[in-house]
Structure 1
Amino acid sequence: MANIYHNILIPVDGSQQSIDAFKKGVELAKELESQVYLVRVLKEKRNDALLENRETFFASLERYANSIGVAINKEIVYGDPRKEISTHLIERWDIDLIVMGATGKGRIEKMTLGSITDYVVRNAKCAVLIGR
């Protein structure tokens, strides 16, 4: 299959939908032989204990990707998640596909398309694949 997506961005927030989307994105990347950029976007820096938990979470996702033969680039980024995902990271890493969950961790977001996802779908200058 021709590689139509060279660089895939997969933002995660710890929600089950973002983890499921990550797994689908990694499987797609393996099939297409694409680069994967795993990112967690936070509004502000928090204490070291929370950062350590995030690193452990990232490490478990990386182990999953490696187990199916996909290497990932991973990073925690600080800023507005909507703008980082839909604009800044696309430009920084030359992203041509974003794979993300439909909703995040918030109660209201679980009932509708999440506000970050909705913003990304409307504003990203690349293809967006939404998983449930």
Structure 2
Amino acid sequence: MVRNYKNIMVPVDGSEPSIQAFKKAVHIAKRNGANLYLVTVVDKVDNPEEAEQIERDREGFFAALEAYAKHENQHVERKVKFGNAKKLIAEELVKDWNIDLIIMGATGKGNIAKMVLGSITKHVTKHARCDVLIAR
């Protein structure tokens, strides 16, 4: 069965897997005529220095990703959210934005990034109430 996705979310953290997931998401959104939501989740409790750096760098990072999407004629909504990434991505944002597909990298920048499947990605695949595509 072929599904036509309408609202696609891509969590990014600056890691290469998340950037590759974003690029794939741009093409999937374009094929489906879908809305594309780009989100970075910052947990200030876990790593305050990293949170501050993400806040400082996000404009340039988002601008580069948006330029890629614009080149592909795909509009992107971008958000920075603060809190628990697992809960926000798998539950709250899916509901708030009516997400029907999450596309994310297999691993991220966190301390768990060296594992086969990152802890956030693993949590999202298990708990999200929509389809999840893991990009490599």
Query: TM-score, structure 1 length as denominator?
Result: 0.92
1:4 maps to 4
1:27 maps to 27
Q: One-letter code of the match for 2:76?
A: I
Cα distance, 1:10 vs structure 2 = 0.3
Query: TM-score, structure 2 length as denominator?
Result: 0.89
Task: Check 1:79–1:29 CA distance in 2 against 1; reply closer, same or farther (3 A cut).
Answer: same
Cα distance, 1:80 vs structure 2 = 0.2
Q: One-letter code of the match for 1:42?
A: V
Task: Tell whether the 8 Å contact from 1:10 to 1:22 is kept in structure 2 after alignment.
Answer: yes
When the two structures are aligned, how many residues end up with a matched partner? 130
2:108 maps to 104
Cα distance, 1:50 vs structure 2 = 4.2
Cα distance, 1:127 vs structure 2 = 0.2
Q: Aligned ranges for residues 1-132 of structure 1 at < 5 Å?
A: 4-44=4-44, 46-47=51-52, 50-106=54-110, 108-132=112-136
State the superposition RMSD in angstroms.
1.6
Task: Tell whether the 8 Å contact from 1:3 to 1:34 is kept in structure 2 after alignment.
Answer: no
Uncovered stretches (5+) of structure 1, i.e. residues with no partner: none
Task: Tell whether the 8 Å contact from 1:39 to 1:77 is kept in structure 2 after alignment.
Answer: yes
